[in-house]
Structure formats: C-alpha cells, structure tokens
C-alpha cells in the first residue's frame, strides 16, 4: 500500500471519480504521437534518451496522452511507474 500522499499521484487514482476523471485519448486520435511514444518506450538502444519530453500549452492534452500510454503499458503488463 502506498502512503496516502503518493497514492493520489497514480495515473489511475481518479478512476471512478465523480469530478473530472482522467480519460484516455479518443480512439483514432493522436495516433502518430502515441506510436512515437510507444516506439520510444520499447526501444532498448543505448542511444535512446531515457526521457521523452512532452510539452505544450495548458489544455492541449499532455496528461491525456500520458494517461493513454500508461493504460496501454499497464494492459501489456509492461507498466513501471507514473506520477501525475
């Protein structure tokens, strides 16, 4: 069990929440970005950066993309950690 201060930082901490639960990307959207992120995450090359810097203005979907990738890798049993 995680300490209560960190439990709310899990990517799916708001699952079932009545107020603004996190949602994954709408099916069929952001395909190119999600594919790029998935390829980066699976790349075992020593030349691959350990950090994927996703940036953008507020409200452009960065958290939604991150949540979608977390769900994808959790489903493949390859999910390591998250902190939202």
Can you give the residue ranges of every domain in the chain? 1-16+26-42+59-84
What angle separates helix 62-75 from helix 31-42, to the nearest 10 degrees? Answer: 50
Q: pLDDT for 28-81, tens place per residue?
A: 999 999 999 999 989 989 999 989 999 999 999 998 999 899 888 887 777 766
* pTM score over 0.85: no
Q: 11: Cβ–Cβ under 8 A, 6 or more apart, which residues?
A: 22, 66, 67, 70, 71, 82, 84
What are the C-alpha distances in Å from 26 to residues 8, 9, 23, 59?
A: 24, 23, 8, 15
């Amino acid at each position: 069990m995680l300490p209560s201060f960190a439990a709310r930082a899990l990517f799916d901490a708001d699952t079932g929440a009545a107020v603004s639960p996190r949602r994954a990307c709408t099916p069929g959207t952001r395909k190119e970005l999600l594919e790029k992120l998935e390829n980066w995450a699976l790349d075992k090359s020593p030349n691959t950066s350990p950090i994927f810097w996703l940036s953008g203005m507020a409200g452009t979907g960065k958290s939604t993309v991150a949540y979608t990738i977390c769900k994808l890798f959790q489903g493949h049993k390859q999910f390591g950690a998250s902190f939202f």
